[in-house]
Amino acid sequence: MAAGLALAAQGIHKTYRLGRQDLPTLAGVDVAAAAGEFVGLIGPSGCGKSTLLRLLAGLEEPDRGQVLFEQAPRLGAIGLMPQRDALLPWRTLLDNVALGLELGARLSRPDARQAARAQLAAFGLDGFAAAYPGSLSGGMRQRGALLRTFLAGKPATLLDEPLGALDSLTRTDVQEWLESAWLTFQPTVVLVTHDVDEAIFLSDRVYVFSARPARVTAEVMVDLPRPRPKGARTAPAFVRLKERLLEELRGRG
Ligand SMILES: Nc1ncnc2c1ncn2[C@@H]1O[C@H](COP(=O)(O)OP(=O)(O)OP(=O)(O)O)[C@@H](O)[C@H]1O
Ligand SMILES: [Mg+2]
């Protein structure tokens, strides 16, 4: 693969079957992320974003096209936070978060627990270490799943609407945490989000998908300095990018 490219999907086609009907979902999608790049992916609901992440992670195979990753095998080297958080119901919040460190960073369980506990406060989850997922709110589960995914320290991490269940204040806080964690560890990240501000705030580059069957309709560079302060969202350059992406989403780019 091209030098510096960590992860790429090339000419991806995917059609599902729904009863007797074909459901073309991805119709020739090309996306790529350089090593350590933060790539955002936006597009209308149902266009195939989660499908693409599963293909990138190696959980499904495309009908045509190929996924390239700097390491083989992909499974195990790419972390995926699915759209519905996948916390294990029989583990406490702390042990769910620690799982990323046990499996990903190969820490012993006591060390993983200690490192996980240290992060809970930043996520507004201190006091809930011993709670089981069933007794947490949707937003708390989502933050736990994000922590677990990120602490696993994989070279590439795919995030499927990781902050969708959060209120806007918590959401901007977690976005800042995410940027600083990414700046620290520099994994390659692909983030799916419906929130255009979030895509701009976090990404180096944003792909816009069409309605299903998805194609890439635009690829927009986000050339804003990092770390990005809260106020970045109202800067003229940010607002211009937002207008451009909204136009592209409306299909008028
Ligand atoms: N395993 C599957 N079997 C059959 N159809 C599927 C399967 N997974 C996804 N689809 C279909 O593929 C299309 C794209 O689904 P996908 O979940 O990738 O969309 P999305 O862009 O992530 O949407 P959203 O923004 O709502 O999460 C949908 O029409 C969905 O019904
Ligand atoms: Mg989805």
Read off φ and ψ for residue 89, nearest 5 degrees: -65, -20
In tens, the pLDDT along 76-85 reads 889 999 988 7
Q: What is the pLDDT of residue 3?
A: 59
Q: What is the pLDDT of residue 2?
A: 59
Is 193 close to ligand 1, i.e. is its CB under 6 Å away? no
In tens, the pLDDT along 63-79 reads 999 999 987 778 788 99
Q: What is the pLDDT of residue 104?
A: 77
Q: Quote the tokens at residue 173.
A: 């806080």
Q: What is the pLDDT of residue 22?
A: 96
57: pLDDT strictly greater than 90: yes
Strand partners, 41: 192, 207
- Cα of 68 vs centre of ligand 1, distance in Å, is 22
Is 59 close to ligand 1, i.e. is its CB under 6 Å away? no
pLDDT band at 253, cuts 50/70/90?
low
The residue ranges of every structural domain in the chain are 5-77+155-249, 88-153
pTM of the shown model: 0.94
Q: What is the pLDDT of residue 75?
A: 77
Q: From atom 28 of ligand 1, which residue's Cα is the shortest distance away?
A: 46
Q: What is the pLDDT of residue 120?
A: 92
In tens, the pLDDT along 96-131 reads 999 989 987 789 999 999 999 999 988 889 899 999
Atom of ligand 1 nearest to the CA of 194: 25
Q: From atom 20 of ligand 1, which residue's Cα is the shortest distance away?
A: 46
In tens, the pLDDT along 187-234 reads 999 999 999 999 999 999 999 999 999 999 999 999 999 999 989 999
Atom of ligand 1 nearest to the CA of 47: 21
Q: Given ligand 1 and candidates 50, 60, 196, 208, which is best to mutate, with the most ligand atoms within 8 Å of its CB?
A: 50
CATH topology of domain 5-77+155-249: Rossmann fold (3.40.50)
- Cα of 17 vs centre of ligand 1, distance in Å, is 11
252: pLDDT strictly greater than 80: no
In tens, the pLDDT along 14-54 reads 999 989 999 999 999 999 999 999 999 999 999 999 999 99
Strand partners, 159: 81, 191
Q: From atom 14 of ligand 1, which residue's Cα is the shortest distance away?
A: 48
